Amino acid sequence: MVKATVIGAAGGIGQPLSLLLKQNTLITDLALYDVVNSPGVAADISHINTPSVVKGYLPPDGGLEKALTGADIVVIPAGVPRKPGMTRDDLFNINASIVRDIAVGIAAHAPKAFVLVISNPVNSTVPIVAEVLKKKGVYDPKRLFGVTTLDVVRASTFVAEAAGQPTESLKFRIPVVGGHSGVTIVPLLSQCDPKVQLDQATIDQLTNRIQFGGDEVVKAKDGAGSATLSMAFAGARFAAAVLDAASGKASSVHEYTYVDLDSEAGGKDVASKLGGNLQYFSVPVTLGKNGVEKIHPLGGMSEYEEGLVKKAVADLGGNIEKGQSFVAKSSNL
């Protein structure tokens, strides 16, 4: 039995993500929570003849508690998206408290669940969840993930296009490390598998496109939000990876995700190579029964990529601190 809960299930990401999770046959219970419309989304999705039983929950009558109780995995796309001209950090003022309050619910009702944070700014919302879980005495860094899979998905697509093989994007695997906003997103094109020969101008252009791919969608949607469908795909893919590893369905699951480097999974080596005391970074991980089993080194980098990492580290420190001090200043915990 595997219960998956989506918080923010009626939103632009939440609906297609819930649809994709309904197709995951490892999931037996799918709980859809939102502050609006979740019963309708649940009724609709529940007619699909895959194994999971779907229920929708709203805030009255303990909806959050019911949605979370017994959850093995909680995916959080709740909160507001960007409009043109905004940075992800501009969402902090609204989304920080939304994510904090959801984390309080997780601490009380699903303390052992894998928690997958999609809500932006991910660089800060993941530390917010961690600090709440720490305050409540239930924090396990191996079970908390910032979802950065969309950056990895974009990198494959854009590199395949640049290599003149747009229909072969699944074949191109590119590590993307760091955080999830602008220059904190660091594609390691030199490690592309299979190798691609790119001149420096193309590397510059691809790096910029991967770092600012989110802006491309925000601009195209012209005020109607940010990436939802590609994010749902990426979120469902990452959730499936976590569940495949936890259930033993797959023996070696390798992903990139924004995690606490200070876990038993071996992130301290990465942190010390990054210089300073950076606590969170998107890194290559092996997933296992209990979440992050091993954090791997970032691997060989070009001088150009080392420069990108330096810029990412400089920005990330402030983003992380902002999330941590928000929780420290929250008097209602």
176 binding ligand LMR? (CB under 6 A): no
Is residue 63 part of the contact set for ligand NAD (CB under 6 A)?
no
The piece of 12-20, 106-114, 166-174, 276-284 that touches ligand NAD (CB under 6 A) is 12-20
Which residue is catalytic, options 109, 180, 254, 296? 180
The residue nearest ligand LMR at its CB is 214
Sign of CA pseudo-dihedral 8, 230, 112, 88: negative
Least distance in angstroms from the C-beta of 132 to ligand LMR: 22
Q: How far is the CB of 152 from ligand LMR (least distance, A)?
A: 11
Of 80 and 266, which CB lies nearer to ligand NAD in the complex structure? 80
Contact predicate 253/245, CB 8 Å: yes
Report the SS3 class of residue 31.
strand
Known catalytic residue: 109? no
| Binding of ligand LMR by 82 (CB under 6 A) | yes
Cα distances (angstroms) measured from residue 190 to each of 148, 303, 319: 19, 10, 27
Name the residue with tokens 């984390």.
103
Residue 129 tokens read as: 């969840």
Q: Which range of residues in 29-37, 154-162, 171-179, 311-319 is near ligand NAD by CB under 6 A?
A: 29-37
Bridge-partner residues for 3, per DSSP? 29
CB distance 70 to 3 below 8 Å:
yes
From ligand NAD, ligand LMR, none, interface partner of 217 (C-beta below 5 to 8 A by class): ligand LMR
* Nearer to ligand NAD (CB atom), residue 11 or residue 288: 11
Task: Summarize the chain as % helix, strand, coil (round to 5).
Answer: 50, 15, 35
Question: How many residues sit in the footprint of ligand LMR (CB under 6 A)?
Answer: 11
In the region spanning residues 196 to 225, those forming contacts with ligand LMR, defined by CB under 6 A, are 214, 217-218
Binds 218: which of ligand LMR, ligand NAD, none (CB < 5-8 Å by kind): ligand LMR
- Which tokens in the block code for residue 154? 């974009």
Q: Taking CB under 6 A as the rule, does residue 36 contact ligand NAD?
A: yes
As a whole number of angstroms, the distance between CA 281 and CA 50 comes to 36
b/e 208-223 (16+ beta carbons within 10 angstroms → b): ebbbebbbebbeebee
What distances in angstroms separate CA 74 from CA 78, 110, 193, 267, 290, one per listed residue? 11, 8, 31, 23, 14
Residue number of the CB closest to ligand NAD reads 11
Binding site for ligand NAD (CB under 6 A): 7-8, 10-14, 33-36, 77-82, 91, 95, 98, 118-120, 122, 147, 150, 180, 225-228, 231
Binding site for ligand LMR (CB under 6 A): 81-82, 88, 120, 150, 180, 214, 217-218, 226-227
Which residue numbers are catalytic? 180
